[in-house]
Amino acid sequence: MSIQSTQFDPARVPATVERIVETVLPTRHGMFRLVGYRDGTGTEHVALARGIDDAAGSAAPLVRVHSECLTGDAFGSWRCDCGEQLDAALAAIAAEGRGVVVYVRGHEGRGIGLLAKLKAYALQDQGVDTVDANTALGLPVDARRYDQAAEILQDLGISAVRLLSGNPAKEEALEDLGIAVVERRNLPVADRAENAGYLATKRARMRHDAAPAADAWESLLDGVVPAAPAPGEAEELTHRYGYLAQPGSQVIGQLRQSLDGFIASRSGDAGFHQDRGDHGHLQRLRALADAVVVGASTVLAEDCSLAVADVPGRSPVRVVLDAAAKVGGDARVLADDGVPTLWIVSGDAAVPPGLPASVEVVRLPAEDFAPRRVLDVLHARGLGKVLVEGGGNTVSRFLEAGVLDRLYLTTAPVLVGDGVPGIRFSGSDVLAEARTAPVRRFVFGQDICTEFNFAATR
Ligand SMILES: [Zn+2]
């Protein structure tokens, strides 16, 4: 940090906001400069800054002007999305290594104050929406002013920003105060059941941007998998061979297992999967894939359809690895439901007669079910983006073969003790040879999803 540029400089401080103190704040998003201000009304504000010492002449930094919200920011309230917005803003700034959160005090309840906000909550408990609740209390719908925020940004040497906000009124206010908003970006925070009504009101009555909810998964996967085809385009694509939604290929593994590495109990009870925190993530992965690969044991255990549900996109081609053709003709993966299936069996395995035309039986020599051989079969049919979805044995075999570009390994907070194994492979005597890669982590409810970017290690 440059001491010179951060020293108190009376000439740079606007008349109404005074820079009082500067220190540093270590957070779970890393170290920030913490600069404290007092405005002309005596209200105290802070700015958390990272990498802006050399602001002069460089590109507009990410900036969030965050309105104080005790309930959301400190208590993690889900009545609003303030706490998650703040966290996402700090994460975005940390990821870019540069940016500022201006934390504006006195903005509780869009400027009406903490207790008035709680009174408005009490009215909302009776069914009044957030706008009408403020009005019923004789208070403005939005009483916030942003001059202190603009002056703090100017004090930090920032005149142009890329604003992290879903609120166009905030952008306009900053522009009016001389801060150029070169871009405004909505943070990828998904709605929750507890705040969906509140957020819908802000969108309908206060011009807030549409929910990024469904797209939040896409944001998480941004750059990981090429985007899904547009709705019109998807209709034109036939699922049958020669269909190639996007050029290029990518192989992604995903598995959800207990914290101690099992996907089911000894008897095959996989009950903890009924409440999967990563449901949306898995659906999104399916929607982005051309083909989804599962082992026969998983089909027999779960009779899954592997269809896309709850997110936009079409269902991928199903690929069932089943050397002994153990999967019965009535399995959902072999159903005539408009989604084609490649049923990969060994040369002499007997398959039932009368399979639908959507099922292609692919015969491989029994000794030739290696992951690379399976991928050859898929690539020859134009299926480039492949999701290896389960179970533990199948994902482990693709991992061990070194063909996974990414692995999303979700751990659920369950200890099974002994049972059907999740990720297992032969390993090595030398820990230095353990599989690792750059990782990112996502919290999905009670689950933690770790993304291994194996492609980055090649
Ligand atoms: Zn809030």
Q: Which residues contact 265 (CB under 8 A, 6 or more apart)?
A: 416, 418, 419, 420
**Lowest-pLDDT range of 51-55, 142-146, 219-223, 365-369:** 219-223
The sign of the torsion formed by the CA atoms of 305, 344, 287, 398 equals positive
**Lowest-pLDDT range of 189-203, 282-296, 359-373:** 189-203
**Model pLDDT, residue 154:** 94
| C-alpha 80 to ligand 1 mean position (Å) | 5
**Model pLDDT, residue 21:** 97
| Residue range(s) in the chain whose domain bears CATH number 3.40.430.10 | 231-292+300-310+371-457
The sign of the torsion formed by the CA atoms of 160, 163, 167, 170 equals negative
| C-alpha 278 to ligand 1 mean position (Å) | 26
| C-alpha 171 to ligand 1 mean position (Å) | 19
**Model pLDDT, residue 11:** 39
| C-alpha 138 to ligand 1 mean position (Å) | 20
E strands, 296-418, are 317-321, 341-346, 359-364, 385-390, 406-412
Give the architecture (CATH level 2) of 3-107+144-211.
3-Layer(aba) Sandwich (3.40)
| C-alpha 83 to ligand 1 mean position (Å) | 7
What CA–CA distance (Å, rounded) separates 290 from 244?
8
pLDDT tens-digit series, residues 367-393: 888 999 999 999 888 888 899 998 999
Strands 447-453 and 439-444: antiparallel
**Does position 275 have pLDDT exceeding 90, yes or no?**
no
In sequence order, which ranges of 314-418 are alpha helices (DSSP H)?
A: 371-380, 392-400
**Does position 101 have pLDDT exceeding 80, yes or no?**
yes
| C-alpha 131 to ligand 1 mean position (Å) | 14
| C-alpha 253 to ligand 1 mean position (Å) | 37
Give the architecture (CATH level 2) of 231-292+300-310+371-457.
3-Layer(aba) Sandwich (3.40)
- What is the pTM assigned to this prediction? 0.55
**Model pLDDT, residue 239:** 38
pLDDT tens-digit series, residues 176-190: 999 999 999 887 676
| C-alpha 90 to ligand 1 mean position (Å) | 16
| C-alpha 130 to ligand 1 mean position (Å) | 12
| C-alpha 110 to ligand 1 mean position (Å) | 9
Q: Which residue has the higher pLDDT, 128 or 263?
A: 263
**Lowest-pLDDT range of 202-211, 295-304, 314-323, 354-363:** 202-211
| C-alpha 56 to ligand 1 mean position (Å) | 33
| C-alpha 117 to ligand 1 mean position (Å) | 9
pLDDT tens-digit series, residues 79-94: 888 998 999 899 889 9
**Does position 126 have pLDDT exceeding 60, yes or no?**
yes
pLDDT tens-digit series, residues 324-349: 999 988 899 999 988 899 999 998 89
Asked if 34 contacts 86 with a C-beta cutoff of 8 angstroms, the reply is no
| C-alpha 258 to ligand 1 mean position (Å) | 34
What CA–CA distance (Å, rounded) separates 354 from 148?
74
- What average pLDDT does the segment 278-296 reach? 87
**Does position 397 have pLDDT exceeding 80, yes or no?**
yes
What is the distance of C-alpha 153 from the center of its chain? 29
pLDDT tens-digit series, residues 202-249: 777 877 776 544 334 445 555 454 444 444 444 443 333 333 344 457
**Model pLDDT, residue 220:** 53
| C-alpha 16 to ligand 1 mean position (Å) | 26
Q: Which residue has the higher pLDDT, 442 or 431?
A: 431
- What average pLDDT does the segment 54-70 reach? 84
* Three-state DSSP state, 406: strand
**Model pLDDT, residue 370:** 93
**Model pLDDT, residue 193:** 67
| C-alpha 187 to ligand 1 mean position (Å) | 15
| Residue range(s) in the chain whose domain bears CATH number 3.40.50.10990 | 3-107+144-211
| C-alpha 18 to ligand 1 mean position (Å) | 26
**Model pLDDT, residue 70:** 97
**Lowest-pLDDT range of 12-16, 259-263, 346-350, 360-364:** 12-16
Whether the link from the prior residue into 419 is cis, omega within 30° of 0, is no
Distances (CA, A) of 35 to 1, 38, 52, 93: 13, 10, 12, 16
DSSP annotation of 272:
G
**Model pLDDT, residue 122:** 93
Kindly report the average pLDDT of the chain as a whole number: 84
| C-alpha 73 to ligand 1 mean position (Å) | 7
What CA–CA distance (Å, rounded) separates 70 from 242?
56
- Of 70, 35, 68, residue with least CA distance to 50: 35
**Model pLDDT, residue 274:** 80
| C-alpha 81 to ligand 1 mean position (Å) | 6
- What average pLDDT does the segment 151-166 reach? 94
**Model pLDDT, residue 324:** 94
